[in-house]
Amino acid sequence: MAQSGMAQQSGMAQQAGDASRGLHLFMADGCYECHGTVGQGGVGPRLAPDPLPAGAIAAYIRKPTNVMPPYVESVAGDQDVRDMQAYLASIPQPRPLKDIPLLAP
């Protein structure tokens, strides 16, 4: 991650993250405690599948609006957020209800 701050900023939207590093960070930073190990939600809202773009996640976690603690850039940098977003994006969709016999309409 020998990129300058500028390069990281401008690459925020396009660059793909590293999902396995993202999984590690999601656990190490404690996101899972409130959002669930697969982003399914808990105290905090569901984050996956279909996570927000990395830029939106970064903007939110730096200045959360309510009970979530803030994560400043020195704690979760842009590359870290991109990797966590890649992890969340790698979480598969749940099976549709019609494929689960007990829940099929």
Q: Is-contact 58 51, C-beta < 8 A? A: no
Q: What is the CA radius of gyration of the chain?
A: 15
What is the residue whose two structure tokens read 């590359």? 79
Give the Cα separation of 64 and 59 in Å (integer).
8
Stretch that binds ligand HEC, among 4-12, 15-23, 63-71, 95-103 (CB under 6 A): 63-71
Stretch that binds ligand HEC, among 7-15, 16-24, 37-45, 89-97 (CB under 6 A): 37-45
87 is a site residue for ligand HEC (CB under 6 A): no
Binding site for ligand HEC (CB under 6 A): 29-31, 33-35, 43-45, 47, 52, 57, 60-61, 64-69, 71, 76, 84
